[in-house]
Amino acid sequence: MAKVKCAIIGSGNIGTDLMIKIMRTAKTLEMGAMVGIDPNSDGLARAARLGVPVTHEGIEGLLKLPGYRDIQVVFDATSAQAHLRNNALLQQDGKKVIDLTPAAIGPFTIPVINGDANINEPNVNMVTCGGQATIPMVYAVRRATTRVLYGEIVASIASRSAGPGTRANIDEFTETTSKAIEVLGGAERGKAIIILNPAEPPLIMRDTVFTLSQGGDKDAIVASVLAMVASVQAYVPGYRLKQEVQFEVIGDNAPVRIPGIGLATGLKTTILLEVEGAAHYLPAYAGNLDIMTSAALVTADHWAASGLAKEAA
């Protein structure tokens, strides 16, 4: 079976890690181009050494590459603002676009939650690295309870693993992740916080998930969380609970106030996660890159294997 050609726009940390994953582990994809804007970037240099066609002229350079017409999948790992223009041009040529920025033009996609639900969409959004790591936990609580009133996530990543694109997208990160906590996680209100930790040596990605739910019981929540962890580990082996799930009953004697909902009671669940990267490009502490690129690769691989790629060829 011939593999489907793909291109990556963005030769920074995320794009380069994704390229190496595709070349080492993709089931149905092969690299057709690596696109950047800095002719001296390590990502472009590495791609060229590996025999991948490269251009440092951005989206315009991609459109001019001899093999562009054969490329069916394009991963965009630039910025939310740049993605708006990139997507408009790519859609004119019928490309399948996997958005790794917080632009959120297409529907939110997290493999273990809505997997192939958006497989026919021309553009799908991979939310954010923090979203890929934490929203499955919010969803796990939601499916084991009657109602999740509130979901809050705190993603802490090593500063060294956050490149210019990530830093330029901090506001979009919090907005997109907060919305996805509600849309995909099932929480009625969502909040996201990201911390760029400057510690040396760099610390591994850590995530904390808080939910306030009603209905269900502790055993059911724990079982759901453990099952979800196993599901994510299928494509991110370094994804794991840091310690046992923690609970606190919020009673009528001390209710909490949730914006837009008011005073509320229920069961507070705290889930502490650690995400170790596969170290395909950056060291293992960059689990934030690993979970994002792994989720994007799984999504694209499923699309290419579905037969839709043949129709587009």
272: Cβ contacts below 8 Å, ≥ 6 apart? 206, 207, 208, 209, 241, 242, 243, 246
- Residues 138 and 199 both lie in one domain: yes
Q: What is the pLDDT of residues 169-181, one digit of tens each?
A: 899 899 999 999 9
Predicted local distance difference test score (pLDDT) of residue 146: 98
- Residues 306 and 245 both lie in one domain: no
- Residues 221 and 257 both lie in one domain: yes
Give the whole-angstrom CA distance, residue 273 versus residue 208. 6
- Residues 134 and 117 both lie in one domain: no
- Residues 39 and 80 both lie in one domain: yes
- Residues 87 and 36 both lie in one domain: yes
- Residues 145 and 96 both lie in one domain: no
Predicted local distance difference test score (pLDDT) of residue 312: 46
- Counting the structural domains of the chain, the total is 2
Q: Which residues of the chain have pLDDT under 50?
A: 312-313
Tokens of 95: 């490309």
202: Cβ contacts below 8 Å, ≥ 6 apart? 158, 159, 160, 161, 283, 285, 286
User: Residue 129 to residues 15, 100, 125, 249, 309: CA-CA distances in angstroms?
Assistant: 13, 9, 12, 30, 26
Q: Any idea how long the chain is? A: 313
* Nearest CA among 114, 151, 115, 144 for reference residue 130: 151
Q: Which residue has the tokens 């790992």?
A: 77
CB 136 within 8 A of CB 181: no
User: Residue 68 to residues 19, 54, 73, 205: CA-CA distances in angstroms?
Assistant: 17, 11, 10, 36
CB 211 within 8 A of CB 139: no
Active-site residue (options: 129, 148, 149, 194) = 129
- CATH (domain of 245): 3.30.360.10
- Residues 117 and 133 both lie in one domain: no
Give the whole-angstrom CA distance, residue 40 versus residue 255. 56
Q: What is the pLDDT of residues 22-69, one digit of tens each?
A: 999 999 999 999 999 999 999 999 999 999 999 999 999 999 999 999
Domain that holds residue 219: 129-286
CB 284 within 8 A of CB 297: no
- Residues 173 and 71 both lie in one domain: no
- CATH (domain of 64): 3.40.50.720
Predicted local distance difference test score (pLDDT) of residue 311: 53
Alpha helix stretches (DSSP H) within 120-217: 129-143, 164-168, 170-183
Predicted local distance difference test score (pLDDT) of residue 236: 97
- Residues 239 and 139 both lie in one domain: yes
| pTM of the predicted protein model | 0.95
- Residues 188 and 49 both lie in one domain: no
Give the whole-angstrom CA distance, residue 37 versus residue 56. 4
129 catalytic, yes or no?
Answer: yes
- Residues 80 and 173 both lie in one domain: no
